Amino acid sequence: MFSSTHPLQEVNIKAQLTEICLLQIGEKSLFTKELENALERNEVDLVVHSLKDLPTTLPPGFTIGAVLKRENPHDAVVLHPSNAGKSLDTLPENSVIGTSSLRRAAQLKKRFPHLDFKDIRGNLNTRLKKLDEKNDFAAIILAAAGLRRMGWESRISQILEPEDCMYAVGQGALAVEVRARDADILEMVSILHDPDTVLRCIAERAFLRRLEGGCSVPVAVHTQVKDSQLYLTGAVYSLDGSNSLKETMQVSIAAGAQVDEQVQRVGVTANKIPGAVQDEAEKLGIELADLLLSKGAKEILTVARQLNDAR
């Protein structure tokens, strides 16, 4: 296709086509699909994703063979250099905050009504460049985990606590996706599983799947393991944050009998973690979602999805 063009022209054409694709189908879904295509063609034996980018139902033949120890899952505020020393609370009225996340915007609009939230797109480098080199944004909101993994922890001005902004399902965790039939590869990567992270993320993913949620609707979670108890807080929001439902449930995750069979739970295969405990985590997510649904969560999410689709 590009055989008759100059190498630099070829790069530019490819870049333009990629930008068009990203705008049309979304950067996360594009890159996730490309990696899965390579896995399906046996070009690679495993791929690594941010777990929050993976749907709760994977394509047939794939599974998450490992969920690594979770980095800080919270969101972070990165201020424009001119606002050094400030926080979201102390920024001037109508300061513009950049975020591409409906979840973040919905929560923060309610918590910080004096601020104005607008879309910002691109990878971390692109967003930070837009923040630093222009005066369009007073601050942007990013995942703390991504900043830390890139070595940019010094850019974090404020970590948002759950009271201000709960995080996305799976945020901060890395997932290793493999072909479900490859028992040897599954066995090899299984040593990477972090038990607490696996259970927290199974509960979160089960919650999201039951709600039939996704990136097009504001769904947020907060989980923790303490004293052999798994706590899950889940919430749904309208796009402007004015309407919301939030509840917390817990379950015991004391060690149970080991189950070695390859069973997927919301896309995760964790053979070395007791199956009964995984079942409890999955059940917790489902029951919390059912509680919110009984209180009107479906109506909130349906309206949010319709409004987002119409934008």
| Mean confidence (pLDDT) of the chain | 89
CATH code at position 141: 3.40.190.10
Q: Which residue out of 70, 75, 86, 104 is catalytically annotated?
A: 104
125 with 108, same domain?
yes
Q: Which residue out of 28, 45, 53, 283 is catalytically annotated?
A: 53
pLDDT at 1 over 50: no
CA nearest to 24, candidates 168, 140, 124, 121: 121
Phi, psi (5° rounding) for residue 113?
-65, -15
178 with 243, same domain?
yes
105 with 204, same domain?
no
pLDDT at 167 over 70: yes
Helix H or strand E segment including 276: helix 275-294
Q: Measured between alpha carbons, how far is 279 from 263 in angstroms, rounded to an integer? A: 10
Work out the pLDDT band at 9, boundaries 50, 70, 90: very low
Whether 294 maps to a domain, the answer reads yes
Whether 10 maps to a domain, the answer reads no
pTM of the model: 0.88
CA nearest to 69, candidates 215, 240, 195, 247: 195
For the segment 174-220, what is each residue's pLDDT rounded down to a tens digit? Answer: 999 999 999 999 999 999 999 999 999 999 999 999 998 777 789 99
Counting other chains too, the contacts that 88-92 makes at CB distance below 8 Å and 24 or more residues apart are: 88/112, 88/115, 88/139, 88/158, 88/160, 88/164, 91/115, 91/138, 91/139, 92/138
57 with 95, same domain?
no
- Give yes or no: 165 in active site: no
Whether 14 maps to a domain, the answer reads no
Question: Quick one: pLDDT at residue 261?
Answer: 67
Q: Measured between alpha carbons, how far is 118 from 112 in angstroms, rounded to an integer? A: 14
Domain span including residue 23: 19-71+169-310
194 with 61, same domain?
yes
Task: Give the residue from 136, 159, 182 where a domain finishes.
Answer: 159
Work out the pLDDT band at 18, boundaries 50, 70, 90: very low
Question: Quick one: pLDDT at residue 29?
Answer: 66
pLDDT at 47 over 80: yes
Question: Quick one: pLDDT at residue 256?
Answer: 66
Whether 37 maps to a domain, the answer reads yes
306 with 248, same domain?
yes
Whether 13 maps to a domain, the answer reads no
pLDDT at 226 over 60: yes
- Give yes or no: 127 in active site: yes
Whether 7 maps to a domain, the answer reads no
Whether 12 maps to a domain, the answer reads no
257 with 116, same domain?
no
186 with 130, same domain?
no
Q: Which residue out of 52, 70, 86, 265 is catalytically annotated?
A: 52
CA nearest to 130, candidates 118, 143, 142, 121: 121
- Give yes or no: 116 in active site: no
- Give yes or no: 53 in active site: yes
Residue carrying the six token digits 């800080």: 72
187 with 66, same domain?
yes
Q: Which residue out of 14, 121, 129, 181 is catalytically annotated?
A: 121
Q: Measured between alpha carbons, how far is 277 from 252 in angstroms, rounded to an integer? A: 8
- Give yes or no: 215 in active site: yes
- Give yes or no: 179 in active site: no
pLDDT at 21 over 90: no
Q: Which residue out of 75, 210, 215, 265 is catalytically annotated?
A: 215
CATH code at position 262: 3.30.160.40
Mean of the pLDDT values across residues 17-43?
65
Question: Quick one: pLDDT at residue 259?
Answer: 60
Q: Which residue out of 70, 86, 109, 127 is catalytically annotated?
A: 127
For the segment 252-286, what is each residue's pLDDT rounded down to a tens digit? Answer: 998 766 665 679 999 999 988 999 999 999 999 99
Whether 8 maps to a domain, the answer reads no
pLDDT at 33 over 50: yes
66 with 101, same domain?
no
Work out the pLDDT band at 163, boundaries 50, 70, 90: very high
Q: Which residue out of 70, 103, 109, 210 is catalytically annotated?
A: 103
Question: Quick one: pLDDT at residue 190?
Answer: 95
Work out the pLDDT band at 14, boundaries 50, 70, 90: very low
Helix H or strand E segment including 304: helix 297-310
pLDDT at 50 over 90: yes
Task: Give the residue from 159, 178, 197 where a domain finishes.
Answer: 159
CA nearest to 112, candidates 131, 98, 127, 91: 91
Q: Measured between alpha carbons, how far is 209 from 203 in angstroms, rounded to an integer? A: 10
146 with 271, same domain?
no
- Give yes or no: 104 in active site: yes
64 with 200, same domain?
yes
pLDDT at 153 over 60: yes
Q: Into how many domains does the chain fold?
A: 2
